[in-house]
């Protein structure tokens, strides 16, 4: 059995294929970011998923593409975890950007971007994906990501610049006690995921001018730091991956036009596109 996974900090989408490449099952586990989650918790999050736990001895290959898998140390940690769970499997662990490239570019040159719990981008030249700058994660970078917008919403709530009708709903939906927030940020096991959990709130007010301005500000920052430095023109397509990009694609289009660049579409969940790529190129 073959497992293909698109791994974020908040969740991981898995697809299992039989040896004849027919689909066995789809499932979802909690996030497996090795830069944030310790080894024991990584392992338990895999085994806690009933589909993965029940079939672990049948797995022959694991293709895992995940957030936080951009350094050799993080890759090796996750590879060890998978080897301990899927004892008979060959393991491939790579950065989530590679999955985004497989899902969107059709093997042709493009700029590929991720807006999930975190954010990132790369330029794919048709053979190799190259990042403009290493990502330092949620505390410093991650423009236009879920944790970026969660941070902005909480800050605006406390500074009382959030419109009152939005502020009332935000207060109702979340625990906004200062001690709770500080505990999650400075003592919690996944502060980036905690912040990102607030971002889905934006969908409730997606047509409100405050939310549209907030999204546009974040996307504009993302273009400035994560797209424009590649020095590519309108001839290079730009693809986005993630729910934020999918639901606010009209704002991405607006910012792309501002910079005379070509936004070519957003994919909410890349896992289905990844199956086709792996069947064609990686699974023998």
Structure tokens at 83: 């080897």
Q: Which residues of 196-206 are buried (b: 16+ CB within 10 A; e: fewer)?
A: bbbbebbeebe
Q: Residue 237's beta-bridge partner residues?
A: 262
Q: Residue 28: its pLDDT value, please?
A: 94
CA 139/CA 123 separation, integer angstroms: 24
Q: Other CB atoms closer than 10 Å to residue 135's CB: what's the count? A: 21
- For 247, the 3-state DSSP assignment is helix
**Which of 120, 136, 137 has its CA nearest to residue 226?**
120
Q: How far is CA 229 from CA 137, 175, 256, in A?
A: 19, 39, 14
283 has a pLDDT exceeding 70: no
Distances (CA, A) of 194 to 53, 112, 143, 157, 218: 26, 26, 16, 16, 19
Contact 109, 130 (CB under 8 A): no
> From CA 24, how far away is CA 60, in angstroms rounded?
14
Q: What would the pLDDT profile of 6-16 be if each residue is shown by its tens digit? A: 888 888 999 99
Percent over 70 (pLDDT), the chain: 98
C-beta atoms surrounding 21 within 10 Å: 11
* Other C-beta atoms lying within 10 Å of the C-beta of residue 179: 8
pLDDT for the residue numbered 73:
92
Residue with more model confidence, 117 or 25: 25
**Taking each helix axis from N to C terminus, what angle separates 146-158 and 164-173, rounded to the nearest 10 degrees?**
110
Sheet holding 90-95, edge to edge: 23-30, 11-17, 2-7, 61-66, 90-95
User: pTM score, two decimals?
Assistant: 0.79
Tens digits of per-residue pLDDT, 141-174? Answer: 899 999 999 999 999 999 999 999 999 999 999 9
* Stretch 107-133: mean pLDDT: 90
> What pLDDT does residue 276 have?
74
Q: What is the mean pLDDT of the chain?
A: 91
* Strand runs labelled E in the chain: 2-7, 11-17, 23-30, 61-66, 90-95, 110-115, 119-124, 129-130, 237-241, 262-267
Query: Is the pLDDT reported for residue 116 higher than 80?
Result: yes
Helix axes 209-226, 146-158, angle to 10 degrees: 130
Tens-place pLDDT, residues 221-248:
999 999 999 999 999 999 999 888 998 9
Residue 283's nearest CA partner among 83, 63, 64 is 63
Domains of the chain: 2-99+271-282 (3.30.420.40)
Q: What is the pLDDT of residues 64-74, one digit of tens each?
A: 998 888 888 99
Spatial separation of the C-alpha atoms in residues 230 and 50, rounded to whole Å: 43
């Amino acid at each position: 059995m073959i497992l293909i996974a698109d791994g974020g900090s908040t969740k991981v989408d898995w697809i299992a294929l039989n040896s004849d490449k027919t689909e066995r099952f789809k499932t979802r586990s909690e996030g497996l970011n090795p830069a944030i989650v310790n080894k024991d918790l990584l392992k338990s999050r895999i085994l806690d998923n009933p589909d993965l736990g029940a079939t672990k001895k049948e797995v022959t290959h694991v293709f895992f593409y995940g957030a936080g898998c951009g350094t050799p140390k993080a890759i090796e940690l996750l590879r060890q975890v998978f080897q301990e769970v899927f004892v008979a499997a060959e393991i491939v662990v790579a950065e989530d950007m590679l999955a985004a490239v497989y899902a969107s570019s059709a093997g042709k040159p493009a700029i590929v971007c991720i807006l999930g719990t975190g954010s990132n981008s790369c330029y794919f030249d048709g053979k190799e994906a190259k990042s403009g700058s290493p990502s330092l994660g949620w505390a410093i970078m991650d423009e236009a990501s879920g944790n970026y917008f969660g941070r902005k919403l909480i800050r605006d709530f406390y500074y009382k610049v959030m419109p009152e009708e939005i502020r009332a709903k935000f207060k109702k939906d979340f625990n906004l006690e200062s001690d709770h927030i500080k505990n999650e940020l400075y003592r919690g096991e996944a502060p980036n995921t905690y912040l990102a959990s607030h971002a889905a709130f934006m969908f409730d007010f997606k047509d409100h001018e405050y939310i549209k301005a907030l999204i546009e500000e974040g996307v504009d920052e993302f273009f400035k730091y994560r797209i424009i430095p590649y020095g590519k023109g309108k001839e290079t397509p730009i693809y986005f991956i993630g729910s934020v990009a999918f639901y606010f694609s009209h704002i991405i289009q607006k910012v792309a036009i501002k910079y005379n660049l070509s936004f070519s579409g957003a994919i909410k969940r890349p896992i289905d596109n990844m199956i086709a790529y792996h069947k064609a190129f990686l699974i023998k």
